[in-house]
Structure 1
Amino acid sequence: MQRELGKFSPKYGGSANGHNGIKSIIECLKSDKFHRLRIGIGRPPSHTDDRSHEVVSSYVLGALTRSEKEVLLNEVFPKSKDEAIRLGITETK
C-alpha cells in the first residue's frame, strides 16, 4: 500500500510485503512479531504514469527533495516518535 508523504500507520506482525529491509529483520529475529511504524513517501510524479518496477524502485531509492526533507524532519519524525512511545515501541529517555 502506498502512503502519501508523511502519513504513517502502526502495524504489529505480518509479512514483509516485498520490503527487503523488513525481510531481513524477520530473518534475523526469526519472527515477524514486532512493532512497525510505516511512513509514507508518496508516489512518483503524476506526469510519470509508469508504475513499472524500475520506475517505482528508482523513486523509492531516489534522493528526497529539500521540501520532502523538511516535512519529514519538522512534522513526521516528531509525530512518529510520539506515536512509537504511545504504542510502547520505544522507551522514553
Structure 2
Amino acid sequence: MYIIAGLGNPGKEYEGTRHNMGFNVIDNLASKLNIDVLKLKFKSLIGEGIFKGEKIILQKPQTFMNLSGEAIYDIINFYKVPLSNLIVVYDDKDLDVGKIRIRKKGSAGGHNGMKSIIYLLNSEDFPRVRVGIGKPDGDMIKHVLGRFNDSDMELVNSALSNASNAVLDIIENGVEHAMNLYNGNGTCGL
C-alpha cells in the first residue's frame, strides 16, 4: 500500500495558488487513475484505488499547510504503512516553474508543511516529489499564495503531469528509477 499526500491549503480562496501544487498533482493523479478524492477522513480528503496491483490512497490534508503533519501522522498511524511507502508532493520555491525534483529523503528545506510532517513523524526518511514554483520577486507569502501568470501555465501543466508520472514510477519501479528518469531537467518523454 502507498499513501500519496499532496500538500496545499483547503478552501476556494487558495485554489490555483502556487502553494497548492501538491493538491493539483493529487487531482491530476485522481483523473489519471479514475479515483474520487472526496471522502473526509484523517483530517483529509482521501480517495482509494489500485495501480499495478498496489493499493494506493490519495490524500489532500485539510489542516492548512502548516499543520499538514497532523493529517499525515493520522493516516500513517492508522494503516501502519512504512515511511518508504509514503510519497509527499509539494511546491518548492527553489525550483524553477515547470521543474520537478524527486528525493528519497531529506530536510524540510524551509517548507512549513514539510517541517510539520517531519516533526510529527519524527523522520525525514520518506520519498518526496517537489514541484517548482519559482523564486519570489518580493514577499514570500504573497508569492506562494499568489497564482501563476498565464505565460507560465504550459510549464505548470507539464510539471503537474510529470510529477504525477513520477509518483506512479516510484510505485512501479522505485525511487531510484524515478530520480534517474525525472531529476535531470524535470521532464520526461512519458
Mark the runs of 5 or more structure 1 residues left unpaired by the alignment.
Answer: none
2:99 match? 7
Counterpart among 7, 16, 19 of residue 111 in structure 2: 19
Report whether the alignment pairs 1:58 with 2:133: no
Residue 12 of structure 1, CA deviation: 1.8
Q: Distance in 2 between matches of 1:69 and 1:21?
A: 24
Query: In the alignment, residue 112 of structure 2 is paired with which amino acid?
Result: N
Q: What's the TM-score once normalised by structure 1's chain length?
A: 0.68
Query: In the alignment, residue 38 of structure 1 is paired with which amino acid?
Result: R
**Identity rate of aligned residues, in percent?**
34
Which protein has the bigger strand share?
A: 2
2:156 match? 72
1:34 match? 126
2:15 match? none
SS of equivalent residue, structure 2 residue 129: strand
8 Å contact kept, 2:100–2:162: no
More RCO (CA 8 Å, sep 6+) = 1
Aligned length: 80
Q: What's the TM-score once normalised by structure 2's chain length?
A: 0.37
SS of equivalent residue, structure 2 residue 130: strand
Mark the runs of 5 or more structure 2 residues left unpaired by the alignment.
Answer: 1-92, 173-190
Query: In the alignment, residue 171 of structure 2 is paired with which amino acid?
Result: G
Residue 72 of structure 1, CA deviation: 2.3
Deviates more, 1:21-30 or 1:33-42: 21-30
